[in-house]
Amino acid sequence: MLRKFLRVKIKGAVVTEAKLYYEGSITLDKEIIEKSGLLPGEEVLVLNLNNGARFVTYVIEGEKNSGVVCLNGPAARLGYPGDELIILSFAYLNQDEIASHSPRLLVLDKNNRVVEVK
């Protein structure tokens, strides 16, 4: 049996852009993607602390060290520049993997720079 566990939590992401006329996704600074262990195209759950919205989308790689956190497509209706987000990714683990599993936590500053990785 597989169970679903938190794999990555990115805390303190601040929306920099919202582009409605796009296929849909969240663009993240490549530095955030690399340090979190996420991959382009990977599914994420996005939580907006400003309005309570929760939505599922996928990651698109943005320019490294740009600080970009852009909501694209319909997600652009669920947040605005300046909104603070939590971004989560989950993994399915078998019983043998559970005991040694530890989620990765990234904390970002107000400019979307990684200030802590746990």
Per CATH, the number for 3-117 is 2.40.40.20
Domain range list for the chain: 3-117
CB 118 within 8 A of CB 104: yes
State the Cα torsion 97-92-103-110 to the nearest 10°.
Answer: 170
Closest to 58 in 3D by CA, of 100, 34, 25: 25
| DSSP assigned state of 65 | T
| Residues identified as active-site | 25, 58
User: Could you write out the DSSP letters of every residue in 80-104?
Assistant: -TT-EEEEEEEEEE-HHHHTT---E
Percent residues over pLDDT 90 in the chain: 97
pLDDT attached to residue 21: 94
Length of the chain: 118
Digitized pLDDT (tens) for each residue of the chain, 118 residues in all = 999 999 999 999 999 999 999 877 999 999 999 999 999 999 999 999 999 999 999 999 999 999 999 999 999 999 999 999 999 999 999 999 999 999 999 999 999 999 999 9
pLDDT, residue 24, reads 79
Single pTM value for the model: 0.96
